[in-house]
Structure formats: structure tokens, C-alpha cells
Structure 1
Amino acid sequence: MTIKHLYIVRNTVTAFVVTLFFSCENDFGDVQKIGVLQNQPIGEAKQIDLKYTELIEDTVHLKANLISPKMLDYSNRDFSFSEFPEGILLKVYDDDGKITTITSRYAIFYSDTDIIDLRDDVTITTHSGEVLKTNQLYYNEKLEWVFTNQPWVFTQASGTKYGVGFDSDKDFKNFEMLEMGGDFELDN
């Protein structure tokens, strides 16, 4: 009777373990799928041409035009962002319709903080012909403020300035440098 009892217990335990093993496999697979989905973008767009407009006194004004070969939307993350892995061309229009052009080979926009991180061959060309070049540049949309800790070159009609790191308003009127070089004309 003990051998028969041992046989029944062993078969019951084996059946239970096999059942548990197969039921866990599906759950573990589902868990793996969830992890993959959270790391993937929720959307992907190719050849985008976005136009930002503003309605002023019953007239629509073009404020900016964003062009990019590819955009990845990670708004499914806790700290959501949009990534532009193949770069951007951004045209910003002032109230008089004058254009400032911004290009970079890579960009990322953090929607929670309204910070744009531009990287790799960043160039800003203003409507008046000023050109700023750097390898990385941040833009705070709320404060309309640009800054970097990277080396930069700023070419104006008065000459070329260069340095490492700066903070400035979007029009480069309030420009503060961390380290500087080049020829400068100072206003009294």
C-alpha cells in the first residue's frame, strides 16, 4: 500500500509541476511582450512636413515649418519624447515673415519639459545672415532660450566669434559666453 500511495503522490506532483510549467510559459511570454512594447516607439512617421500656425485677428500666420525624414514617437513612456534620428530642418518665421533656419543631424524633443536637444552639425542661420555652428544645442521653448556647453562658432557681419558654452535668448541679443575667442566689438 505504501508503494501504491507513493506512486499516486509522485504522479500528482508531476502532473501539478507540468501544469504549472506550461501555465507560466504563457504568462512569461506576455511579460516579455509588454517589456518590448514599452521600449518601442508608439508611432513612426516618415517624410514629415509639419507646419505650425497661429491665428491673429482672423488671419493664419505661419510660425514654423519642421521637415524631417523620420520621427519616432515615444509618448508611451513616463518621460515622453519625440526622436528625429535622421535630423531636422526647421524654419522659424518672425512676425514680419523673415526666416531663421535650424538644421541638425539628430534631434529629440522632450514634451514634458519643452526642451529640444539638437545634436551633430547644428547650424542656425538667421534672416540677417548670422550663422551659429556647434555640435550640440538645447532650446527651451517656454523661455525661448538657447544654450550649450560645447564649442561653437558664431559668424556675424562684424566678425567671427568662437568659444565654449553660451546662454542666449532666441534672437542672440542677450548672449552670455562661458569661454570666448575671436574678434569682438563691445557696445558701450
Structure 2
Amino acid sequence: MQFTKKISFFLTVLLCSIAIVSCESNFKEVQKMGLSEFSPSGEADTINLKYTDSGRIKAVLISPKMLEYGMVEFPFTEFPKGIDLTLFDAKGKKTFVKSNYAISHKGTNIIDLQGKVKITNETGETLETEQLYFDQKNEWFFTQEKFKFTSPKGVSYGEGIDFSKDFKKVNSQKISGEIDESD
């Protein structure tokens, strides 16, 4: 009888172990079902996109790679290899924007520029930083990161800045540098 109890105990432990392993395998499959594949709904190489409004070019976007994520809850477009963007004002003056990476959020119309962000205009003003946001609707740039601003009047450094795309309105924080105010 003792031997029968041992076999019975052994079989019970074996069956429970098999059931636990089997449930764990099913649990992992159920977990996978809850995850959606996060892959782009569109992809393009070497793009040259021109944005026009009322027959006038407002922007030209050039990028070696674009990934469109339009089928996710918060749609966005990613530029993993960076962008080269030219913005035009009403008088045709240009502002040039370059970054190593960019992501454009559809719902907010905010572009997040990252990695060696550099903005220049035709009057010789340049802003350099590691991350900068561009509000497309209001044509406004902003960051809380450190920056370097160079103009014909001098160079300044700071942390935190926001400005219009033509540099006519600038609000900066924590600045230092030398600027010639004699003009």
C-alpha cells in the first residue's frame, strides 16, 4: 500500500507539473495576442516633399527615410535618418532647419527635432541645440535644452529658448555671451 501511495503522489506531482507548464505556455501566447505589431503603415526612401498653400511654396522637406505610423492610436511620421527643411515666409525669405532625427505628431502638429539641430536664416543668424520642437500651426520653435545662438552681432549661449521661425521674436532664458548692441 505504501508503494501505491508513492506512485499516486508521483503521478499527481507529474500531472500538476505538466498542467503548470502547459498553462504557462498558453499564458505567454495570450500575452502575445494583446500586443500589436508596431510597424509602419507606409515607408519612403529619398523624399523631396513640397508643401504649398494658395499656390505658394511654404516648405520643402528632404529626407533619406520616412516612416508613416498612421494606423496607431496617436499617428506620427518618423524621419530616422534626419531632415533638411526649408521654410518660406510670405516674402519668400528662407529659414533652413537640419536635424539628425525628427518625428512629426499628427494630432498636435508638433515636430520634435533631435540630434545636432541647426537652424539658419538668410540674415546669418544660427541656432544650434540637441533638441528643438517646432509648432507648425503657430510657426514657433521652442526648447528647454542648452543652445548656442550666433548672429552678426555676436554669440550667446543659454538654456531654454522659444522664437518665431524668422527669429524676429525671441524669448531666451539663462543666457550668457557677448553681443554688440551698437547698431
TM norm structure 1: 0.76
Q: Does 1:155 align with 2:172?
A: no
> How far did 1:144 drift?
1.9
Amino acid at match of 2:88: Y
Amino acid at match of 2:47: I
> How far did 1:54 drift?
1.7
> How far did 1:32 drift?
4.5
RMSD: 2.1
Range with bigger deviation, 177-186 or 124-133 = 177-186
Contact 2:125 2:149 (8 Å CA) reproduced:
yes
- 1:5 equivalent in structure 2: none
Q: Does 1:130 align with 2:121?
A: no
Q: Could you tell me how far apart the structure 2 residues matched to 1:122 and 1:33 are?
A: 39
Q: Could you tell me how far apart the structure 2 residues matched to 1:147 and 1:95 are?
A: 22
Q: Could you tell me how far apart the structure 2 residues matched to 1:99 and 1:173 are?
A: 13
CA spacing shift, 1:186–1:176, aligned 2, 3 Å: farther
- 1:104 equivalent in structure 2: 99
> How far did 1:185 drift?
5.0
Out of 77, 80, 91, which is 2:75 matched to?
Answer: 80
Amino acid at match of 1:35: L
Q: Could you tell me how far apart the structure 1 residues matched to 2:141 and 2:167 are?
A: 9
Instruction: Among all aligned residue pairs of Structure 1 and Structure 2, give the percentage whose two residues are the same amino acid.
Output: 43
User: 5+ residue gaps in structure 2?
Assistant: 1-21
Contact 2:95 2:166 (8 Å CA) reproduced:
no
> How far did 1:177 drift?
1.4
Q: Could you tell me how far apart the structure 1 residues matched to 2:60 and 2:115 are?
A: 20
- 2:5 equivalent in structure 1: none
TM norm structure 2: 0.78
- 1:120 equivalent in structure 2: 115
Out of 134, 140, 144, which is 1:145 matched to?
Answer: 140
Contact 2:63 2:82 (8 Å CA) reproduced:
yes
Question: Aligned pair count?
Answer: 156
Q: Secondary structure at the match of 2:52?
A: strand
User: 5+ residue gaps in structure 1?
Assistant: 1-20
Q: Could you tell me how far apart the structure 2 residues matched to 1:179 and 1:128 are?
A: 24
Q: Secondary structure at the match of 1:179?
A: coil
Amino acid at match of 2:73: D
Detail structure 1 runs of 4+ shifted over 4 Å in the superposition. Answer: 31-34
